[in-house]
């Protein structure tokens, strides 16, 4: 989960994050991920990819926070798209950005004064190990 640790470092908040299920996030957490279809229309024979979502504390400056993540994504070679956010937004509305890399690698990021959400999507793969739950000890 090195990439997630890098993103948390960019946010400046490396503690206080939870999984999407409310469990405290720890980089040493032995988490089991369920692969999801890359092609939702043809999901029965689609390659699979992993998704990990963490939720963290808000920020006082969502615009600057999002700009730092955009720079991170560009530095990693991702094509940035899906930018949402405007200074006229009321407090608590999320400033969002998505980055897409080769073969399905994707980062989505939402930041507001109330919370931040990071979702990482792995590359698409048809490897047999992607047909079930995947964890750190999956062969």
Average pLDDT for runs of 10 along the chain of length 139: 83 90 78 79 84 92 93 94 79 87 84 93 83 66
CA gap 139, 68 in Å, rounded: 35
pLDDT score recorded for residue 22: 86
Q: What pTM, to 2 d.p., does this model score?
A: 0.82
Locate 54 and state its tokens: 């963490």
pLDDT score recorded for residue 29: 67
CA gap 136, 138 in Å, rounded: 6
pLDDT score recorded for residue 71: 96
CATH architecture of 1-8+48-86+93-125: 2-Layer Sandwich (3.30)
> Where do the domains of the chain lie?
1-8+48-86+93-125
Please state, in angstroms and as integers, the Cα–Cα distance from residue 86 to each residue in 43, 55, 96, following that order: 36, 22, 10
CB 62 within 8 A of CB 116: no
pLDDT score recorded for residue 79: 94
């Amino acid at each position: 989960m090195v990439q997630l640790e890098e993103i948390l470092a960019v946010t400046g908040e490396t503690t206080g994050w939870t999984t999407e299920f409310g469990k405290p996030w720890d980089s040493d957490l032995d988490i089991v991920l369920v692969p999801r279809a890359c092609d939702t229309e043809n999901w029965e024979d689609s390659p699979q990819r992993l998704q990990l979502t963490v939720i963290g504390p808000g920020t006082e400056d969502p615009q600057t926070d999002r700009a730092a993540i955009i720079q991170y994504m560009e530095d990693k070679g991702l094509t940035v798209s899906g930018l949402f956010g405007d200074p006229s937004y009321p407090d608590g509305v999320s400033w969002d950005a998505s980055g897409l890399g080769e073969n399905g690698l994707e980062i989505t990021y939402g930041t507001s004064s109330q919370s931040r959400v990071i979702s990482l999507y792995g590359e698409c793969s048809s490897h047999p190990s992607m047909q079930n739950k995947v964890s750190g000890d999956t062969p």
